[in-house]
Structure 1
Amino acid sequence: MRKTPERIESLAAEYVLGSLKGKARSRFERWMMESGRVRQEVWYWEEKLGQLGDQVPDREPPKSVWLAIQKRLWPQEERHSTSPKQAANRIWPVWSLFATAAALVLAVMLVQQPTLEPDSRLSGAIVQADVSDPLWLVSESSRDSRLRLRSVAATSAEAGKDYELWIVPDNGNPLSLGVIPVGDMYQVELTDEARETLSQSRTLAISLEPRGGSPTGAPTGPILHVTKLYEL
């Protein structure tokens, strides 16, 4: 499927509206992981459609709405005709009690709720030129200090070999994050050093190593993939 500007714009709008479903939605989310152009289009539509709520004019509900509410609240008086204004006057005290109680609960929750720091995360995709789907999708969480790799189109390493994941620093030797399984979610808890290094370089690499990983603490086999992560 070609990623023409027109198609990206159309799919981004559908994605933000929530009308893009199933495999098409999953495929579009992979496009977002791979393409800054796609992400920009999604952000554009989120901002554009998010403004619609401010442009909707206030409208007074028709009489039938008030009568339906009155019938639910006071079924024994459903045969008596009541004007919308009278119904509103009767309903208002009831809803005022509900609103007051809700406000008190919200106030307590706001007092008790701890202040959360912004969740600055890195994510990206490990791709291969001749493969349409990404091999792995990568995401990092600043809250639990974990890096996650979800296998998508990756295939098992050759016999007697394993894939090993590395953080590539701006300066110095690569830092191993362990052997990566294929066909499953791989999670690794980042040390303070690893997290700091990753936040600075935002670069990961995958090498082909002997079974169990590199015996030296540095890549010994060929570097198969290198990818840059971006900040969400």
Structure 2
Amino acid sequence: RGYIREAAAAWERRLHPLGVNIIPITPHSRVWRKIRREIHTYRAPQAAGLWSNLWIWRSIAGVAVLACVGLTVWQTAQPPPMTPIPAYVAVLVDAQQAPAIVATASRDTQRLTVLMMQAPKLGAESDFELWAIPGSGQAPVSIAVLPRNHEILIDLDDHDRQVIPATGAFAISREPKGGSPTGAPTGPVVYQGELVTL
């Protein structure tokens, strides 16, 4: 290539002055005998072993790539895990009747999911507390003090699992930090909604 020839010529020009004053010397005859002897005794290198055989390693790498692709395709083809169907659903609205929170419960997971559809307007010294309102006119039952997350998962204990089926509505009140100190709602109810059984 042109740029290789140019580079070689440039180095030749740089190194040429170093050889101007060198006096040619005829090598001794024993030097030529040694060179001929080494040429005649030269042996071609033996075939590379298993661990240095490039072809074998390329084959192994190809098989590994195909295995990874096959595993990926197999995992992709597997059906996704079944999402438990909610058994109970409540849409809680604010004072303007705008949907603000969706709460769902499933008999299979024994868990309540609370999804905040809008950012809660809550001061640093207050917390939201979720209440189950029994349909029989009994006192509200505290389910949980809600953390300030967009999606909240609440594990239901044995008592809560018995309360949910008899609940007619959910309500959320604004309580002091840490929840109601009396076990009953003490602050204003900011969200409420009927609990529907599916």
Normalised to the residue count of structure 1, the TM-score between the two structures is 0.44
Mapped contact 2:94–2:190 kept (Cα < 8 A): no
- For residues 163 and 228 of structure 1, the distance between their equivalents in structure 2, rounded to whole angstroms, comes to 18
Q: Which residue of 1 aligns with 2:104?
A: 139
Report the secondary structure of 2:184's partner residue: coil
Deviations 1:70-103 (A, max 9, x none): xxxxxxxxxxxxxxxxxxxxxxxxxxxxxxxxxx
Mapped contact 2:169–2:195 kept (Cα < 8 A): yes
- For residues 131 and 138 of structure 2, the distance between their equivalents in structure 1, rounded to whole angstroms, comes to 12
Report the secondary structure of 1:158's partner residue: coil
Mapped contact 1:161–1:209 kept (Cα < 8 A): yes
- For residues 174 and 113 of structure 2, the distance between their equivalents in structure 1, rounded to whole angstroms, comes to 19
Q: What is the deviation of 1:211?
A: 0.6
1:190 matches 2:142 = no
Q: Which residue of 1 aligns with 2:130?
A: 165
Counterparts of 1:40-119 in structure 2, within 5 Å, are: none
Q: Which residue of 1 aligns with 2:175?
A: 209
- For residues 214 and 224 of structure 1, the distance between their equivalents in structure 2, rounded to whole angstroms, comes to 15
Counterparts of 1:2-41 in structure 2, within 5 Å, are: none
Letter in 1 for 2:108: R
Mapped contact 2:132–2:171 kept (Cα < 8 A): yes
Deviations 1:14-56 (A, max 9, x none): xxxxxxxxxxxxxxxxxxxxxxxxxxxxxxxxxxxxxxxxxxx
Mapped contact 1:124–1:230 kept (Cα < 8 A): yes
Q: What is the deviation of 1:204?
A: 0.9
- For residues 96 and 149 of structure 2, the distance between their equivalents in structure 1, rounded to whole angstroms, comes to 19
More helix per residue: 1
**CA RMSD in angstroms, aligned pairs only:** 2.2
Mapped contact 2:95–2:190 kept (Cα < 8 A): no
Q: Aligned residues, how many?
A: 114
> Which of these two proteins has the greater Rg computed from alpha carbons?
2
- For residues 200 and 130 of structure 1, the distance between their equivalents in structure 2, rounded to whole angstroms, comes to 27
Mapped contact 1:206–1:225 kept (Cα < 8 A): yes
- For residues 222 and 129 of structure 1, the distance between their equivalents in structure 2, rounded to whole angstroms, comes to 11
The one of 80, 86, 92 equivalent to 1:126 is 92
Letter in 1 for 2:100: L
Mapped contact 1:203–1:226 kept (Cα < 8 A): yes
Q: Which residue of 2 aligns with 1:149?
A: 114
Unaligned runs of 5+ residues in structure 1 are 1-117
Unaligned runs of 5+ residues in structure 2 are 1-83
Q: What is the deviation of 1:194?
A: 1.8
More strand per residue: 2
Report the secondary structure of 2:163's partner residue: helix
- For residues 149 and 193 of structure 1, the distance between their equivalents in structure 2, rounded to whole angstroms, comes to 19
CA separation of 1:211 and 1:171: change in aligned 2, threshold 3 A: same
- For residues 221 and 207 of structure 1, the distance between their equivalents in structure 2, rounded to whole angstroms, comes to 6
Deviations 1:144-193 (A, max 9, x none): 11111011114231231111001112243221112113342111122232
- For residues 119 and 148 of structure 1, the distance between their equivalents in structure 2, rounded to whole angstroms, comes to 12
1:221 matches 2:187 = yes
CA separation of 1:210 and 1:129: change in aligned 2, threshold 3 A: closer
Normalised to the residue count of structure 2, the TM-score between the two structures is 0.51
Seq. identity, %: 34
